[in-house]
Structure 1
C-alpha cells in the first residue's frame, strides 16, 4: 500500500501539457495561456485577458503506472454581482482515452465582476487539491482536462509512480478559434464542450482558441493562429462582432479578409474552414450590442437582450444574417484561388428546429445538451461525408 511518503512530485512543464500556447511562471506556480506572450502584450481588454487564461481544451497528458495522483492548483472563481453563484470548475480524467473520473478544486481566488459598472475586484484564496485514486494497474495514458471556464494555476503534481509525457498520438492537430460557445460556455465539463466532443469524434488533437466575448478579428489573434502548428484550422466568426457592436459592414469585410490573409501567411495550403454563427434569435435581424437582462434574476436566471434597432441595418450595423451573407460572399470570392478554403453555415449546426427543441437558456449560449448536438453535427459535417476535414 502506498503512503504519501512514497509519492513523487514531478515538475510541470510544457511537455506535459497539450492545448496551451504558453506557460507563465507565477508566485504560486504555472499559468497556462491560450495566447502567446506577444499577443497578450498587445491586448488591453480585461475580458480577453480573462478568457485566454481560462484553459479550455488544455490538458495534462501523462504516461504512468500510478494508481493515484494529486494535482495542486490555484483556481480563480468568477462571481457576478447579483447573479447566482457559478459552480466550481470541473476537471475531467481520461485513462487511455476513456472517461474515468471528474472532480473540482475548492478554494482559490475570487474575481468579482459587476456587469452594470464593469468594476472588478480580486480576493486571494488558498491552493486546493484535486485527487484521483483507484486508477488501473499497469502502464497507461492519463489526461487531466483543466476547467474550461476557470483560470487555473498549476502548483504541484504528485503521483505514486513515475510519470513521463504521454507519447505523441500521431493524430492531426485541429486549431479552432471562436467565441464563448467555442470556449465552452455552459458546457457540463471540459471534455464536453462542442469542440472537444467534435475532436474526439473526429480523431484529432484539439487546440482551442475559443475566446469568450473576444472573437473580434483582432490582428494579434490572427498572428497567434498563423504561428501555431496545425493540420486543420477553423474560424467561427460573427456573434461577438454583432453582440459587442464593434464594427459596421464597411469595416467587417476588409477585417475578415485581413484575418484570413494573416492566417494564410503561416498556413498557405492547410484546410481552412470559416463557420458562420449558429442561430441566435435575438440577433438574427437585430443589431447589437447585447446587454444583460436582470429582470429574471428573481427566478435565478440571467438572460441577454439585443439593444439595437433593426432599422439601423440600413446604416451598416451588423446582424447575424448580414454577417452570414458577407462571410459566404468572402469565402466564395477567395475560394477561386484557394481550393482549401471552405464555408459552413452555422445554422447547419444549430438552426430553427434545434432552437424550438433546445432553446438557448439565456438567449445567447447553448446548454450542455446543445453542446453535444453541435459537436456531433460538426464532426459529421466536417470530418466525414467528404467534409472540409475529411482525411
Structure 2
C-alpha cells in the first residue's frame, strides 16, 4: 500500500490547519494510491487490479463505498478538498452529485456535495466512454460542537473521489479501530446502487445496526467469483465475513453450472486460507424477477432508454437452463447445497437465502425501479432484515460469534 505522507507536518493557513491525508485517517480502503492531485482510495489492492483490465471493475473498485475519514478533534469547521469523477449515461437523466456525509460521535451531522470535477460519459448502447477533466472542489461542514469528538466523513459511495486536502480549525488525531470488523463482498446492490447516500447503503446501515466496522467490497457488476477478490479477502483482517453471490454471474452470463460449483468452492477455500474459523456467511441473491428463471445476459432496455428511463431486461431463454445456463433459482439451489455439504466440516460457515431479505411479497410493495436495483427504502428494509437475522443474539454474527 502506497501511503507515503504528503511532505511536511500539519500546516496552518490563517485559522485553518491542513493535515496530511494518510492511511491512519482512512477506513474501508484496501489500498491508497498517490496521484497528481492527492490520494485515491481503492477497495482492491494493486496486485488484484493488475490481474484484471476490465474497465467496469476499475471504475467501481475506485468508487469509495464504505470508505470514510475518521479522526478526533474539537474543530467546529472541516473542509475536505476532493477531485470527484462523476458518471453520466447517454440518453439517461442526469445523475445527482455524490453525497458526503458527516457523523459526529456516530450521529448524522451534515450532508453536502462537491460540484465540478471530472466527468465520465458512458453510452449504454455501445459502452463507449468519453472522459472530460475538471477541477477539484470542497466539501465543507461547519457549526460542529466545540468539544472533543470523533468525526467521520463518509465519501460518496458511487463517485470516484481523489482526496486533495483536509483542513480544520483545530488539530486532528487518528482514531484506532475498536470493536469487530465486518468484511462484505457483493454486487452493485451491496455497492449501494440507488441508495440515498454512503451511510444508507444496506451494508452501511446493517453495520450501524450491528455495531461493527465495515469494509465494503460490494463491486457493481463485478461480484464474479474472481480469484483476486478472494485473495484480497483472505489477506484482509476481519472478524466477520460475508459473500453475496449470484446476480452478476447471471446478468453477465459469465459461466455455466459446471464451472459455478467449483468456482464457489475455490472462492471459499481461498478465504478460509486466511480466516479458517471466522464466521463466514454465504448469501444467495435477493429476488429479481427478470432473472429468477431466465438466464442472462442482462441488457439495458433500449426502448425505455429512448424515453429517458433506465431499465434492464433479461435476454436469455429459460430453455437454456437445460444446457447449464445459470438463473437465480439455479444459483440459490447450488449455494444452499454447497454450504450444507461444506458445513459438515466447517461449523463456522453459514447460509442465508437472499429472499429472506427481499422476496416476492416485498416486490409487490417495493418493486425494483429499474428491474435490477433496490431503491433507498428497500436498502433500509434489506439492512434491517439482515441485522435482525444475522447480528441478533441468536444470529451467526452475534456478539459472541467472533
Q: Same fold (TM over 0.5)?
A: yes
Equivalent position of 2:6 in the other structure: none
How far residue 4 of structure 1 moved from its aligned partner, in angstroms, is: 5.8
Equivalent position of 2:261 in the other structure: 253
SS in 2 for 1:221: helix
How far apart, in 2, do the equivalents of 1:41 and 1:298 lie?
Answer: 37
1:369 paired to 2:377: yes
Segments of structure 1 that go 5 or more residues without pairing to the other structure are none
What is the aligned counterpart of 2:152 among 143, 153, 160? Answer: 143
How far residue 387 of structure 1 moved from its aligned partner, in angstroms, is: 1.3
> How do 1:49-198 and structure 2 match up within 5 A?
49-168=58-177, 170-198=178-206
Preserved CA contact (<8 Å) 2:277 2:348 = yes
How far apart, in 2, do the equivalents of 1:94 and 1:360 lie?
Answer: 29
Please give the per-residue CA displacement for 1:254-286, whole angstroms capped at 9, x wherever unaligned.
000000000000000000000000000000000
SS in 2 for 1:143: strand
SS in 2 for 1:190: coil
Equivalent position of 2:208 in the other structure: 200
**How many residues end up aligned between the 2 structures?**
388
How far apart, in 1, do the equivalents of 2:283 and 2:195 lie?
Answer: 20
- TM-score after normalising by structure 2: 0.95
Preserved CA contact (<8 Å) 2:57 2:221 = yes
Equivalent position of 2:242 in the other structure: 234
How far apart, in 2, do the equivalents of 1:262 and 1:139 lie?
Answer: 42
How far apart, in 2, do the equivalents of 1:251 and 1:364 lie?
Answer: 24
What is the aligned counterpart of 1:215 among 223, 226, 229? Answer: 223
- Runs of 4+ aligned structure 1 residues displaced above 4 Å come to none
Preserved CA contact (<8 Å) 1:241 1:247 = yes
Preserved CA contact (<8 Å) 1:63 1:167 = no
SS in 1 for 2:362: helix
Preserved CA contact (<8 Å) 1:285 1:310 = yes
How far apart, in 1, do the equivalents of 2:393 and 2:176 lie?
Answer: 30
How far residue 299 of structure 1 moved from its aligned partner, in angstroms, is: 4.8
Please give the per-residue CA displacement for 1:180-218, whole angstroms capped at 9, x wherever unaligned.
000000000000000000000000000000000000000
Please give the per-residue CA displacement for 1:120-149, whole angstroms capped at 9, x wherever unaligned.
121000000010011001100000000000
What is the aligned counterpart of 1:25 among 27, 34, 51? Answer: 34
How far apart, in 1, do the equivalents of 2:381 and 2:77 lie?
Answer: 34
Equivalent position of 1:244 in the other structure: 252
SS in 2 for 1:192: coil
Please give the per-residue CA displacement for 1:209-235, whole angstroms capped at 9, x wherever unaligned.
000000000000000000000000000
Equivalent position of 1:344 in the other structure: 352
- TM-score after normalising by structure 1: 0.98
How far apart, in 2, do the equivalents of 1:238 and 1:296 lie?
Answer: 25
How far apart, in 2, do the equivalents of 1:39 and 1:295 lie?
Answer: 37
SS in 1 for 2:199: helix
CA RMSD of aligned residues (A): 1.0
Preserved CA contact (<8 Å) 2:125 2:302 = no
How far apart, in 2, do the equivalents of 1:297 and 1:48 lie?
Answer: 24
How far apart, in 2, do the equivalents of 1:46 and 1:363 lie?
Answer: 24
SS in 2 for 1:302: coil
Equivalent position of 1:266 in the other structure: 274
1:384 paired to 2:388: no
